[in-house]
Chains A and B, each alone.
Chain A
Amino acid sequence: MIWPKFKDWIDERYDIAELKKLAKSKLIPQHRYDFLYYTGGITLFLFILQFITGMLLAFYYIPHIDFAYESIIDIVTKINMGWFFRSLHHWGAQLCIVFVFIHLFGTLLVKSYRKPRELLWVTGFILLVISIFFGLSGYLMLWDERAFAAVRVATGGAGALPFVGSFIKIFLRGGVDVSGDTLTRFYAFHVSILPLLSLLLIGLHLLFVQYHGMSTPVSLEKKEHKEEPFFPNVFYKDMMIWLVVLGVVVTLAILLPPEIGKKANALAPPPEGIKPEWYFLFLLETLKLFPGIIWGFNGETIAIVCVSIGIFFFFLIPFLDRKSSRGEKSPIFTIIAVVYLLYFITMTLVGFLS
C-alpha cells in the first residue's frame, strides 16, 4: 500500500518515465571486445565498496603516531567483524587497482581514447593516479615497519625529481623524514582530499561516457554490428558481474586476511626483503636498471626523469595518435600499447619473483 503511494508521490514531482525512456534509448554496441565495457563498471563498483568499508574503518581508526597501529589491532581483534571489513578494504583496493589497469590498457588497445573522447582518457588517467595515491596513503595508515619503509622509499623517489622533487618530498612528508606529520597528511589525503577529487572525476568521467556514448574499436567501426539497450539488458549483466566480483572480494578477504607487521620505528633499520605494493614494482625494477652515476650525474635522478617522460608520453597518446582520430588504423600506437603492457607485466613479475 505504501509503495504505490510513494511511487505516485515521486511521479508527481519527477518525470521517471522520461528517465526510463532515456536509459532504454542508450544503446551499447555488441562485438567481440564488448567485455571491456564491463571493466569500467567493475571499477566503479569496487570504488563504492571502498567508500563503504573505508567509512566503517574510519569510525575506529585513530590517525595519531602513538595510537594508529594500536587502533588497527583493536579493529582486527576487538571490534565485531572488524578483521573482515579491514580485509575487505584491503582486497577491494587491490582488485580496484587491477581493474583500473585492465580498463586503462583495454582502452589503449581498442583506441577508445580517440577523438572526441580525449577528455575521457584524461579523467581516467587522473583517476588511476588518484587510485595509486589512495593505495600509498592507505598503506601508511597501518603504521607498521613495512608501510613506514615503503612510504620512505616512495616519497624519497619523488624527491629525486629535479627542481620540484625536494618540494614534493617535503610536502608529502610534512617534514624532512616520514613522521607523525606524514601520517596526519596521508590521513587527510586518504579520507577527504582524494575521495572528493575522485568523486568529482568519476562524475565527470561518467558524464563524458553518457555524452559521447560507448566507443567501438576502429576495426569494427565501419562494419555493421548489433546493439542492445543499456537498460535493462546491460544493466542486468552488470549486476551479475558485480555479484561475482563481490563474491571474489569476500572470499579473498576471508581466506587471505592481510598480516600486520611490527610497529614502525623510525630509528630501526628497514626489514629485510622489503617490497612495495605490487603496482610500484615495475617502477622499482626500472630504477634498479640504472647505475648509481651516469656521466657524472645522479643515476636515480636520471631514472626518475626517464620514468616520468615515459608516463607523460603515455598520458599524451590520445593527442599524438592522429590516425586513429581520423578513423584509420594506427599500428604504431598498437605496438606502443603492447610494449607498455608487456613492460608493465614483465617488470612487475620480475619484482615479485626477485
Chain B
Amino acid sequence: MKIKLFLQIIISLLSFPLVPFRVRRRESGSFKFQNSILSLCLFWVALFFFVIKPLAFAEEKIPVFPSTPVEAYTIYASLAVFWLAIIGLIVIIKMKLNEIDRIQKLGIDKEDNEAPLLD
C-alpha cells in the first residue's frame, strides 16, 4: 500500500509541467511546446486518476474499529493482557487437575465405608 502511494506521488511529481521545462532546457522551441502540452495532459491525467478519482468515487467506509492510535494501542494491549490472563488461568486449572489425578491414583478421594466414626 505504501509502495503504491509512493509510486503515485513520484508519477504525479514527474508529470508536473514545470519539471520537463527545467530538465529539457536545451531542446528546441517546438519540442518544448509539445513537451509542455504532453506533460500538462499527463499531469492532469495523473491528478485525475491518483487524487481526484479516489476522493470523488471512494466508498465511504464506516469505521468498525476505533480509529485513534491511542485507542487502538489500548485495545491491542488489553488483548495481550487478556491472553496472559487466559494462559494463567489454564495453568492454574491444569495444576488443579494434576492434583486431582494424583489424589484419584492414590485412591484417597473415595469414601471409606469401613472407617471408624469419630465422635
Contacts and interface: CB of A to CB of B under 8 A. Distances in A.
Interface in B84-119: 86, 89-90, 93-94, 96-97, 100-101, 104
A247 B97 contact: no
B63 interface: yes
A246 B62 contact: no
Interface residues of A, number: 24
Contact of A236 (B62, B75, B82, B100): B100
Contacts of A240: 90, 93-94
A257 B65 contact: yes
Interface residues of B, number: 22
Contacts of A258: 64
B105 to A, nearest CB: 12
B57 interface: no
B62 A247 contact: no
Contacts of A244: 86, 90
Contacts of B100: 232-233, 236
Contacts, number: 53
B79 A254 contact: yes
Interface string A299-333: 00000000000000000000000000000000000
A191 interface: no
25 contacts: A73-B62, A76-B63, A83-B66, A86-B64, A233-B97, A233-B101, A233-B104, A236-B93, A240-B90, A240-B93, A240-B94, A243-B86, A243-B90, A244-B86, A250-B79, A250-B82, A251-B79, A251-B83, A254-B75, A254-B79, A257-B64, A257-B65, A259-B62, A260-B64, A262-B59
Interface of B: 59, 61-66, 75-76, 79, 82-83, 86, 89-90, 93-94, 96-97, 100-101, 104
A262 B61 CA distance: 9
Interface string A218-258: 00000000000000110011011001101100110010011
Given A77-B63, A243-B89, A247-B86, 19 more contacts: A76-B64, A83-B66, A86-B64, A232-B96, A232-B97, A236-B96, A236-B97, A236-B100, A240-B90, A240-B94, A243-B86, A243-B90, A244-B90, A250-B82, A251-B79, A254-B75, A254-B76, A257-B65, A258-B64
